[in-house]
Amino acid sequence: MKDQPITDSNPAPAIITVAPNGAYKQKADHPALPVTIAEVAQAAEQAWQAGATMIHAHARDNQGRHSLDPELNQQVWDAIRERLDNKIVVQLTTEAAGIYQPEQQMQMVRQVKPEAVSLALRELIPDSSAEPEASRFFHWIAEQQIMPQYILYSEQELAWYKQLHSQGIIPDQPHQLLFVLGRYHSQQQSSPLDLEPFLTSDTHNLNWMVCAFGKQENLCARRALELGGDVRVGFENNLLNSQGVAALNNAELVQQVSDQACRLNRLLMTADQFRAKFKA
Protein backbone atom coordinates (compact mmCIF):
# COMPACT_ATOMS: atom_id res chain seq x y z
CA MET A 1 0.00 0.00 0.00
CA LYS A 2 2.76 2.46 0.86
CA ASP A 3 4.19 2.18 -2.65
CA GLN A 4 1.02 3.34 -4.37
CA PRO A 5 1.03 6.98 -5.57
CA ILE A 6 -0.92 9.31 -3.30
CA THR A 7 -3.64 11.18 -5.20
CA ASP A 8 -7.02 12.73 -4.42
CA SER A 9 -8.66 9.47 -5.44
CA ASN A 10 -6.07 7.40 -3.56
CA PRO A 11 -5.32 9.35 -0.35
CA ALA A 12 -2.67 8.29 2.13
CA PRO A 13 -3.71 5.78 4.79
CA ALA A 14 -4.61 7.44 8.08
CA ILE A 15 -2.75 6.90 11.33
CA ILE A 16 -4.89 7.08 14.45
CA THR A 17 -3.12 7.26 17.79
CA VAL A 18 -4.92 6.83 21.08
CA ALA A 19 -3.72 8.82 24.10
CA PRO A 20 -5.72 7.12 26.84
CA ASN A 21 -4.61 8.78 30.06
CA GLY A 22 -1.93 11.49 29.92
CA ALA A 23 -0.04 12.81 32.91
CA TYR A 24 -2.70 14.55 34.94
CA LYS A 25 -6.24 13.17 34.77
CA GLN A 26 -7.52 10.71 37.38
CA LYS A 27 -10.48 8.39 37.92
CA ALA A 28 -12.36 11.35 39.40
CA ASP A 29 -12.27 12.93 35.92
CA HIS A 30 -13.67 9.81 34.26
CA PRO A 31 -14.16 6.33 35.77
CA ALA A 32 -12.91 4.67 32.56
CA LEU A 33 -9.60 6.55 32.57
CA PRO A 34 -6.90 3.85 32.52
CA VAL A 35 -4.42 4.29 35.36
CA THR A 36 -3.04 0.85 36.19
CA ILE A 37 -0.80 -1.04 33.80
CA ALA A 38 -3.53 -3.63 33.19
CA GLU A 39 -6.04 -0.87 32.41
CA VAL A 40 -3.66 0.79 29.93
CA ALA A 41 -3.16 -2.55 28.16
CA GLN A 42 -6.92 -3.10 28.02
CA ALA A 43 -7.42 0.43 26.64
CA ALA A 44 -4.81 -0.33 23.98
CA GLU A 45 -6.71 -3.43 22.88
CA GLN A 46 -10.06 -1.62 22.78
CA ALA A 47 -8.55 1.24 20.78
CA TRP A 48 -6.89 -1.17 18.35
CA GLN A 49 -10.22 -2.87 17.77
CA ALA A 50 -11.70 0.56 16.99
CA GLY A 51 -8.96 1.34 14.45
CA ALA A 52 -5.95 2.72 16.31
CA THR A 53 -2.53 2.22 14.76
CA MET A 54 -0.56 3.39 17.80
CA ILE A 55 -0.94 4.05 21.52
CA HIS A 56 0.71 7.02 23.24
CA ALA A 57 1.24 5.48 26.66
CA HIS A 58 1.90 7.16 30.01
CA ALA A 59 3.05 5.06 32.95
CA ARG A 60 1.57 5.81 36.38
CA ASP A 61 3.00 4.91 39.79
CA ASN A 62 1.11 3.26 42.65
CA GLN A 63 -0.43 6.61 43.57
CA GLY A 64 -1.62 7.18 40.02
CA ARG A 65 1.00 9.83 39.29
CA HIS A 66 2.78 10.25 35.96
CA SER A 67 6.09 8.42 36.02
CA LEU A 68 9.17 8.16 33.82
CA ASP A 69 10.59 5.40 35.98
CA PRO A 70 12.21 3.07 33.44
CA GLU A 71 10.97 -0.08 35.19
CA LEU A 72 7.34 1.10 35.20
CA ASN A 73 7.55 2.14 31.56
CA GLN A 74 9.03 -1.25 30.69
CA GLN A 75 6.12 -2.90 32.47
CA VAL A 76 3.63 -0.85 30.44
CA TRP A 77 5.45 -1.82 27.25
CA ASP A 78 5.51 -5.50 28.19
CA ALA A 79 1.82 -5.57 29.21
CA ILE A 80 0.66 -4.10 25.91
CA ARG A 81 2.91 -6.43 23.95
CA GLU A 82 1.67 -9.44 25.93
CA ARG A 83 -1.93 -8.49 25.18
CA LEU A 84 -1.60 -7.44 21.55
CA ASP A 85 1.76 -8.74 20.33
CA ASN A 86 2.74 -6.44 17.42
CA LYS A 87 -0.79 -5.42 16.41
CA ILE A 88 -0.36 -1.87 17.74
CA VAL A 89 2.65 0.46 17.79
CA VAL A 90 3.61 1.40 21.35
CA GLN A 91 4.85 4.95 21.75
CA LEU A 92 6.17 5.92 25.17
CA THR A 93 6.22 9.52 26.33
CA THR A 94 9.05 11.62 27.73
CA GLU A 95 6.68 14.26 29.11
CA ALA A 96 8.28 16.15 31.98
CA ALA A 97 4.97 17.15 33.61
CA GLY A 98 6.86 19.66 35.73
CA ILE A 99 8.67 16.77 37.46
CA TYR A 100 11.51 15.53 35.27
CA GLN A 101 14.64 17.09 33.84
CA PRO A 102 15.96 16.36 30.32
CA GLU A 103 18.55 13.88 31.54
CA GLN A 104 15.83 11.84 33.28
CA GLN A 105 13.62 11.97 30.20
CA MET A 106 16.44 10.73 28.00
CA GLN A 107 17.51 8.05 30.46
CA MET A 108 14.11 6.37 30.38
CA VAL A 109 14.29 6.07 26.60
CA ARG A 110 17.87 4.81 26.68
CA GLN A 111 16.98 2.12 29.18
CA VAL A 112 13.65 0.92 27.76
CA LYS A 113 14.42 1.41 24.04
CA PRO A 114 10.78 1.57 22.90
CA GLU A 115 9.91 1.32 19.22
CA ALA A 116 8.47 4.86 19.26
CA VAL A 117 8.73 7.87 21.55
CA SER A 118 7.23 11.36 21.78
CA LEU A 119 9.60 14.26 22.45
CA ALA A 120 8.68 17.85 23.32
CA LEU A 121 11.44 20.03 21.90
CA ARG A 122 10.80 22.79 24.44
CA GLU A 123 11.41 20.32 27.29
CA LEU A 124 14.54 18.67 25.93
CA ILE A 125 16.06 21.92 24.66
CA PRO A 126 15.08 24.54 27.27
CA ASP A 127 17.89 26.79 26.02
CA SER A 128 20.66 26.75 23.44
CA SER A 129 23.17 25.24 25.90
CA ALA A 130 21.11 22.03 25.85
CA GLU A 131 21.37 21.60 22.08
CA PRO A 132 24.55 19.45 21.97
CA GLU A 133 23.25 16.83 24.44
CA ALA A 134 19.80 16.80 22.84
CA SER A 135 21.39 16.33 19.43
CA ARG A 136 23.42 13.37 20.67
CA PHE A 137 20.22 11.88 22.06
CA PHE A 138 18.27 12.44 18.83
CA HIS A 139 21.05 10.82 16.80
CA TRP A 140 21.20 7.89 19.22
CA ILE A 141 17.45 7.42 18.69
CA ALA A 142 18.10 7.26 14.94
CA GLU A 143 20.85 4.68 15.42
CA GLN A 144 18.51 2.55 17.53
CA GLN A 145 15.77 2.83 14.89
CA ILE A 146 13.36 4.25 17.48
CA MET A 147 10.66 6.29 15.71
CA PRO A 148 10.54 9.81 17.19
CA GLN A 149 7.62 12.20 17.22
CA TYR A 150 8.54 15.83 17.87
CA ILE A 151 5.83 17.77 19.72
CA LEU A 152 5.19 21.36 18.60
CA TYR A 153 2.81 23.83 20.22
CA SER A 154 2.91 26.80 17.82
CA GLU A 155 3.97 27.95 14.39
CA GLN A 156 7.03 29.50 16.06
CA GLU A 157 8.04 26.08 17.34
CA LEU A 158 7.49 24.63 13.86
CA ALA A 159 9.96 27.19 12.50
CA TRP A 160 12.37 26.30 15.31
CA TYR A 161 12.05 22.60 14.45
CA LYS A 162 12.89 23.37 10.82
CA GLN A 163 15.96 25.29 11.94
CA LEU A 164 17.14 22.45 14.19
CA HIS A 165 16.59 19.97 11.37
CA SER A 166 18.48 22.08 8.84
CA GLN A 167 21.39 22.38 11.29
CA GLY A 168 21.52 18.61 11.77
CA ILE A 169 20.61 18.80 15.45
CA ILE A 170 17.55 16.75 14.53
CA PRO A 171 18.80 13.97 12.24
CA ASP A 172 17.36 13.21 8.86
CA GLN A 173 15.59 10.00 9.88
CA PRO A 174 11.92 9.19 9.31
CA HIS A 175 9.87 10.91 12.01
CA GLN A 176 6.55 12.56 12.79
CA LEU A 177 5.50 15.96 14.04
CA LEU A 178 2.65 16.43 16.48
CA PHE A 179 0.81 19.74 16.23
CA VAL A 180 -0.88 20.46 19.57
CA LEU A 181 -4.00 22.62 19.38
CA GLY A 182 -5.55 24.47 22.30
CA ARG A 183 -2.98 23.74 25.00
CA TYR A 184 -2.45 27.40 25.83
CA HIS A 185 -5.86 28.76 24.92
CA SER A 186 -8.37 29.82 27.55
CA GLN A 187 -9.74 26.76 29.37
CA GLN A 188 -7.61 24.60 27.04
CA GLN A 189 -10.15 24.60 24.22
CA SER A 190 -9.15 24.14 20.59
CA SER A 191 -10.68 24.96 17.21
CA PRO A 192 -10.02 23.61 13.71
CA LEU A 193 -8.83 27.13 12.87
CA ASP A 194 -5.90 26.58 15.24
CA LEU A 195 -4.42 24.21 12.66
CA GLU A 196 -4.03 26.88 9.98
CA PRO A 197 -0.82 28.51 11.29
CA PHE A 198 0.96 25.15 11.08
CA LEU A 199 0.05 24.67 7.42
CA THR A 200 3.04 26.25 5.70
CA SER A 201 3.86 25.75 2.04
CA ASP A 202 6.02 22.71 2.80
CA THR A 203 3.74 21.03 5.34
CA HIS A 204 2.72 18.49 2.70
CA ASN A 205 6.32 17.22 2.76
CA LEU A 206 6.12 16.48 6.49
CA ASN A 207 4.56 13.59 8.39
CA TRP A 208 2.25 15.44 10.75
CA MET A 209 -0.39 14.54 13.28
CA VAL A 210 -2.82 16.65 15.28
CA CYS A 211 -4.03 16.41 18.86
CA ALA A 212 -6.56 18.88 20.20
CA PHE A 213 -7.67 19.86 23.68
CA GLY A 214 -11.32 20.19 24.58
CA LYS A 215 -14.75 19.55 23.18
CA GLN A 216 -13.86 20.31 19.54
CA GLU A 217 -11.30 17.51 19.39
CA ASN A 218 -13.42 15.58 16.90
CA LEU A 219 -13.83 18.59 14.57
CA CYS A 220 -10.09 19.21 14.65
CA ALA A 221 -9.47 15.54 13.89
CA ARG A 222 -11.79 15.65 10.91
CA ARG A 223 -10.06 18.75 9.54
CA ALA A 224 -6.66 17.09 9.88
CA LEU A 225 -7.88 14.02 8.02
CA GLU A 226 -9.32 16.21 5.25
CA LEU A 227 -5.92 17.88 4.82
CA GLY A 228 -3.98 14.62 4.67
CA GLY A 229 -2.72 14.65 8.26
CA ASP A 230 -3.01 12.04 10.97
CA VAL A 231 -4.81 12.17 14.30
CA ARG A 232 -4.30 11.54 18.00
CA VAL A 233 -7.38 11.36 20.22
CA GLY A 234 -8.14 10.18 23.72
CA PHE A 235 -8.84 11.05 27.30
CA GLU A 236 -5.46 12.77 27.70
CA ASN A 237 -6.88 15.77 25.85
CA ASN A 238 -10.65 15.36 25.85
CA LEU A 239 -13.36 13.33 27.59
CA LEU A 240 -16.33 14.20 25.35
CA ASN A 241 -17.65 12.50 22.24
CA SER A 242 -18.82 14.36 19.14
CA GLN A 243 -22.26 14.86 20.72
CA GLY A 244 -20.69 16.75 23.60
CA VAL A 245 -21.37 14.13 26.27
CA ALA A 246 -18.87 12.01 28.19
CA ALA A 247 -17.47 9.25 25.99
CA LEU A 248 -17.89 5.71 27.24
CA ASN A 249 -14.16 5.07 26.87
CA ASN A 250 -11.17 5.93 24.71
CA ALA A 251 -12.24 3.47 22.04
CA GLU A 252 -15.38 5.53 21.38
CA LEU A 253 -13.22 8.54 20.48
CA VAL A 254 -11.05 6.37 18.22
CA GLN A 255 -14.13 4.88 16.54
CA GLN A 256 -15.43 8.36 15.68
CA VAL A 257 -12.19 9.16 13.86
CA SER A 258 -12.13 5.75 12.18
CA ASP A 259 -15.61 6.42 10.81
CA GLN A 260 -14.56 9.84 9.53
CA ALA A 261 -11.49 8.37 7.82
CA CYS A 262 -13.72 5.83 6.11
CA ARG A 263 -16.03 8.56 4.82
CA LEU A 264 -12.98 10.40 3.45
CA ASN A 265 -11.75 7.26 1.67
CA ARG A 266 -8.69 7.09 3.90
CA LEU A 267 -7.86 3.52 4.81
CA LEU A 268 -6.47 2.93 8.29
CA MET A 269 -2.76 2.20 8.50
CA THR A 270 -1.83 -1.03 10.27
CA ALA A 271 0.97 -1.22 12.79
CA ASP A 272 3.17 -3.16 10.36
CA GLN A 273 2.57 -0.57 7.62
CA PHE A 274 3.52 2.12 10.12
CA ARG A 275 6.76 0.33 10.95
CA ALA A 276 7.60 -0.02 7.27
CA LYS A 277 6.88 3.66 6.61
CA PHE A 278 9.02 4.98 9.46
CA LYS A 279 11.81 2.42 9.49
CA ALA A 280 15.10 4.24 9.80
Q: Which tens digits make up the pLDDT trace of 140-186?
A: 999 999 999 999 999 999 999 999 999 999 999 999 999 999 876 65
The yes-or-no verdict on residue 113 having pLDDT over 90 is yes
Residue 280 banded pLDDT, cuts 50, 70, 90: low
- Residue 44 located in a structural domain: yes
The yes-or-no verdict on residue 1 having pLDDT over 70 is no
- Residue 140 located in a structural domain: yes
- Residue 45 located in a structural domain: yes
- Residue 259 located in a structural domain: yes
- Residue 2 located in a structural domain: no
* Strand runs labelled E in the chain: 16-18, 54-57, 59-60, 66-67, 89-93, 116-120, 147-152, 176-181, 208-212, 230-233
- Residue 261 located in a structural domain: yes
pLDDT in tens, 196-242: 999 987 777 899 999 999 999 999 999 999 999 999 999 999 999 99
- For position 147, which CATH number holds? 3.20.20.70
Domain that holds residue 153: 16-278
If one counts the domains in the chain, the total is 1
pTM, two decimal places = 0.93
